[in-house]
Amino acid sequence: MPPQIFLASRSPRRRALLHQIGITCTPVEVDVDESVRPRETPADYVVRLALAKARAGTERRPAGNRMPVLAADTAVVKGGKILGKPVDRSQALAMLRLLSGNTHQVLTAVALAAEKTDSRLCASRVSMRRIDTAEAEAYWESGEPTDKAGGYAIQGAGAIFISHLQGSYSGVMGLPLFETAELLANVGIKVLAVASAIEE
C-alpha cells in the first residue's frame, strides 16, 4: 500500500503504532525548538510542539505533494515538572527515584496538518511500584532509558515497574491511537477499525 501520510518523527515506536492500525507513512525529519516557554503548562507545551512539528513537516514535503503530515509530542510530568529524555546515567537514576513509588502524568499531543491543522491531547496517569537502586542501575545499563521521556519505556522492560495505568497505553508509548484515528478519519483516511465498521 502506498504511503497515506507523512510522519514528522524518527520514532520507530510511532511508525509501529501507525502500522498497527493499518496506516502507512513516510517519515520526514523536522527541527523544532523544544524549549519550554515561561509560564507554559505541560499540556500547552506538548500541544504547541505537536502542532509545530506537523507544520514544519509540511515544509519538508516534495513540491506539489499535499499528503497530510502527522506529528506528536510526549511529556512525562511529575509535580508540574516536565521530565525529558535523560542526558546521562545520573539524570536517568534521578528520574527513576522521583517516579519510584509514585503516580505521574503522561501527556501526548498529536497533530495533523492537512487542509487545516488540528490536534488532540491525551492525558494518562501511570503509577510505579518502588524501584530499588540496584534495579534502577540495571535498567540504565540495559540501554532502554536513554531516549525515553521520563527515563523509561512502558513497551519495554520498564513495564515491570508499572503497577497501574489509567488512560491510554499507546498514548504513553508516544502516539494515542484513539485520538490519531479521529484526526485521520476527519480528513477521510480510514484506519483499520473505521474501515471494518464501514464494511459491516
Answer yes or no: 73 catalytic.
yes
Q: How far apart are CA 160 and CA 9, in angstroms?
A: 27
Q: Do the Cβ atoms of 193 and 21 come closer than 8 Å?
A: yes
Q: How far apart are CA 124 and CA 155, in angstroms?
A: 15
Among candidates 140, 142, 130, 134, which has minimal Cα distance to 98? 130
Helices (H), the chain: 12-20, 42-58, 89-99, 133-141, 169-173, 177-186, 192-199
Find the catalytic residue in 31, 44, 73, 118. Answer: 73
As annotated, the active-site residues are 73
